[in-house]
Structure 1
Amino acid sequence: MTTTAKPTLQDFLDYIEGFRKQGQVVYAEKQQSWMVLGHPEVNEVLSEPHRFSSDLSPLIPTQEEFALFQKGNFIQMDDPRHRQLRGMVSKAFTPKFVAGMEPAIHDLTEQLLDAAGAEFDLVDGLAYPLPVIVIANLLGIPTADQPVFRRWADTLLDRDVPMDKPIAEVREELMAEVTPVMREMNDYFREFIADRRRNPGDDLTSQLTLVEEDGRRLDDDEIIGFVGLLLLAGHITTTATLGNSILTFHENQDAIREVRENLSLLPAAIEEVLRLRTPFPRVARMTTEETVLGGVTIPAQQMVLPFLTAANRDERVFPNPNKFDLHRDPNHHASFGKGIHFCLGAPLARLEARVALKIMFERYADIQVVEDKVEERNPFAMVAVTKLPLVVRPV
């Protein structure tokens, strides 16, 4: 799909459903990739890393700055290395630890909204700074550098994603385009990590410099990928979910009135937002052997694209899938993945969204979106707003 205007979410959904008419597992000739659209088929890909690898290096030549970042980026690794590295970070993300962050998230939300006034942009005023400050404090990174982190995220995520050429080629081109930002990120984190070694604190980065793995400590290059991944992934999903929630609520006024009357429905509302506006629309895997998926035979070393957005709108699993249903039960959406790569930060993202939205409902009797000023990312890369101007009326 090639357009001059930025594609809309509906454009993306139409694109997906065009493939789904051919089946739940479809080979896309132009993309030279296998599109996986069905919910059970996507879950099978994500749950069986021995058949569907996260390491795409045999298909996509790496680049020096990306190779450095990926030394600690366990998202693009398979076990046992994935298990070793993720296990270290998991120790910091226990349920108890995440639950203990709620008071700080509550206080920070109140402070940000106190400063926002009656008319403000949700992304600038809350959805971006809240999770960035939370994760930066966790890592010990200076929160004053927020504008730099936002520029990195925008550069990496606000890309044109042509869907009418081979995905491996697209990824290679994107890699070349963002190399300067990757170099800047690597240099920033290398300097920061070296400082933590010299001046350790009680933050997660300092802990990583002390962790021993098989009798040796992680080197700085290995920690770069850890810290970079946690900083970026640790805020992007929450930023998207907060913006997507307010926009979806605006489009579904009856449902939101019900939530206002019973705030215990808020977690279910957030899950339905995650299903309908899936932040990361797809992931990528590579077949390690010839395999059968959904009755379709896929050769070895093929690019496979599980579309999380498509899985979340599979009518075999979600009746009336395009409708916002506050009482959808069960709601086993695929937005945070499944299996060994299930999103490590999902509990924190859910907590931040729940706390922030609850405070907004308690503060404001009315929340209006200025519709003609809303700006969204390219949904082929990420489903999220970049501008969401609001006019609010205090209780």
Structure 2
Amino acid sequence: MTLTKKAPTLADLLDWLERQRSRGQVVYDEKQRCWHVLGHSEAAAVLSDPGAFSSDLQELMPQQEDFALFQRGNFVRMDPPRHRKLRGLVSQAFTPRVVAGLEPRIAQVTNELLDGAAGQTRVELIDKLAYPLPVIVIAELLGIPASDRPVFHRWAETFFNRQNIDPDQSLLAAGKEAMENAAPTVREMNAYLLEHIRNRRGNLADDLTSKLILAEVDGERLADEEIIGFLGLLLLAGHITTTATLGNSVLCFEENPGAAAEVRKDPGLLPDAIEEVLRFRTPFPRLARVATRDTRIGEVDLPAGAVVMPWIAAANRDERVFTEPNRFDIHRPRNPQLAFGHGIHFCIGAPLARLEARIALGIMFQRYADISVALDEPVEEANPWLMVNVNRLPLDLRPSR
């Protein structure tokens, strides 16, 4: 397997995290001007206390009109009580019953996408399956044309695939630069979604966009501009985690053929295997919070106003919680991985992402007697400082007879 040379790599990031951990589970970074939270219990404590650690980072960043519009409905960056009210509007779209009801459609789309590659022994996984599958599913939930997925892909690349991350740069400077670079994309996305919302308002249907148009918060309907943030968040976050998890799963199975053989023999192991993939190659390696008051995490006192970075990738390799954390083990008796977050901001789409990964991988194991990463083409991995995922993953496939 040949990896395209990119810096930094996941191994580089993990080495850097362990060097930070050698100083403690909560450490201050003079260069980045933030507190790195590396331990599992410490990260969970930060994420479970929105009163002490705010998700609203707007005061740290320069105000930008396009981002301000998007943030109006972005409940990921809200604190209670507003967060609870707005998140409740979309929770109905991700109830266990609704998600379970999507299983036949997910299987149908998976088979249709793989049928499109029938007869091919070399397939690029991301383009053929890992990206289009979750985009089609989430777009249908939102009532947005899935045929526009090349546009959505370009948006996601802007937000999750930048390559100019400098670990020694202050977070405020990096954030300002990121906002400037992403502003044109945010402007395009806002305009696209606003047009969709206005069109749907005059032609309501059985989709989440229509439900948001009709919903009330504190006796008031949402403005079209508020719905933009909802849809943008769900459209991007609603597919990128599944895309990453599918690619990361194939890489983990490639590196651990014994685990792949076990799962192929017993598909009932797939859910636990996916949880281990999420722990071992955590899609979103870090989150960000701001301390609202002087507080204590572990053995460290943090001042009010401190920028706090819970590193999920480090928490998921905390040896105090995970035996042999650097070993891929689908039989872990306990796997409290934090890949989907913790507390009130736990990923609302986690059940859907898990279901999509389980169905897609299960169908792949049924259809192909052998799945291996191509040796003569590069695997393109994203910058792990932003996201641990694969942009290009060529596979050699041998169909089952």
Q: Normalising by structure 1, report the TM-score.
A: 0.98
Alignment counterpart, residue 335 of structure 1, candidates 324, 334, 339: 339
Question: How do residues 252-271 of structure 1 correspond to structure 2 at under 5 angstroms?
Answer: 252-271=256-275
**Structure 2 counterpart SS, 1:390:** strand
In structure 2, how many angstroms separate the alpha carbons of the residues matched to 1:130 and 1:308?
A: 26
Alignment counterpart, residue 124 of structure 2, candidates 121, 143, 146: 121
Question: How do residues 343-354 of structure 1 correspond to structure 2 at under 5 angstroms?
Answer: 343-354=347-358
User: Which moves more between the two structures, 186-195 or 208-217?
Assistant: 208-217
Alignment counterpart, residue 291 of structure 2, candidates 287, 294, 297: 287
Q: Which amino acid aligns with 2:71?
A: Q
Give per-residue Cα distances to partners, 1:156-194, cap 9 Å, x unaligned. Answer: 111122110111111111011110000000000000100
**Aligned: 1:382 with 2:401:** no
Alignment counterpart, residue 247 of structure 2, candidates 243, 248, 251: 243
Alignment counterpart, residue 141 of structure 1, candidates 140, 144, 147: 144
Q: Which amino acid aligns with 2:109?
A: L
In structure 2, how many angstroms separate the alpha carbons of the residues matched to 1:144 and 1:179?
A: 24
Alignment counterpart, residue 362 of structure 1, candidates 351, 366, 373: 366
Q: Which amino acid aligns with 1:23?
A: G
Give per-residue Cα distances to partners, 1:206-236, cap 9 Å, x unaligned. Answer: 1111111222110001000000000000000
Q: Name the structure 1 match of 2:112.
A: 111
Q: Which amino acid aligns with 1:211?
A: A
Alignment counterpart, residue 157 of structure 1, candidates 142, 147, 160: 160
Q: Which amino acid aligns with 2:156?
A: A
Q: Which amino acid aligns with 1:343?
A: C
Q: Which amino acid aligns with 2:226?
A: E
Q: Name the structure 1 match of 2:223.
A: 219
**Aligned: 1:391 with 2:396:** yes
Q: Name the structure 1 match of 2:202.
A: 198
Q: Name the structure 1 match of 2:48.
A: 47
**Aligned: 1:83 with 2:84:** yes
Alignment counterpart, residue 279 of structure 2, candidates 275, 278, 291: 275
Runs in 1 of length 4+ with deviation above 6 angstroms? none
In structure 2, how many angstroms separate the alpha carbons of the residues matched to 1:163 and 1:382?
A: 14
Q: Which amino acid aligns with 1:286?
A: V
Q: Which amino acid aligns with 2:217?
A: E
Seq. identity, %: 60
Q: Name the structure 1 match of 2:71.
A: 70
In structure 2, how many angstroms separate the alpha carbons of the residues matched to 1:216 and 1:37?
A: 41
In structure 2, how many angstroms separate the alpha carbons of the residues matched to 1:140 and 1:59?
A: 34
Residue 92 of structure 1 deviates from its aligned partner by 1.6
In structure 1, how many angstroms separate the alpha carbons of the residues matched to 2:240 and 2:93?
A: 19
User: Which moves more between the two structures, 366-375 or 287-296?
Assistant: 366-375
In structure 2, how many angstroms separate the alpha carbons of the residues matched to 1:288 and 1:192?
A: 37
Residue 5 of structure 1 deviates from its aligned partner by 4.0
In structure 1, how many angstroms separate the alpha carbons of the residues matched to 2:170 and 2:38?
A: 18
Q: Normalising by structure 2, report the TM-score.
A: 0.97
In structure 2, how many angstroms separate the alpha carbons of the residues matched to 1:327 and 1:214?
A: 47
The root-mean-square deviation of aligned C-alpha atoms, in Å, is: 0.9
Say whether the 8 Å CA contact 1:286–1:304 is kept in structure 2: yes
Residue 61 of structure 1 deviates from its aligned partner by 2.2
Say whether the 8 Å CA contact 1:271–1:331 is kept in structure 2: yes
Give per-residue Cα distances to partners, 1:92-116, cap 9 Å, x unaligned. Answer: 2110000000000001100001112
In structure 2, how many angstroms separate the alpha carbons of the residues matched to 1:353 and 1:92?
A: 19
Say whether the 8 Å CA contact 1:59–1:301 is kept in structure 2: no
Unaligned residue ranges in structure 1 (runs of 5+): none
Q: Which amino acid aligns with 2:64?
A: Q
In structure 1, how many angstroms separate the alpha carbons of the residues matched to 2:270 and 2:42?
A: 29
Q: Name the structure 2 match of 1:56.
A: 57
Q: Name the structure 2 match of 1:37.
A: 38
In structure 2, how many angstroms separate the alpha carbons of the residues matched to 1:45 and 1:274?
A: 20
**Structure 2 counterpart SS, 1:92:** helix
Q: Which amino acid aligns with 1:282?
A: R
Residue 57 of structure 1 deviates from its aligned partner by 1.8
Give per-residue Cα distances to partners, 1:309-352, cap 9 Å, x unaligned. Answer: 00000001001001001101210001000000000000000000
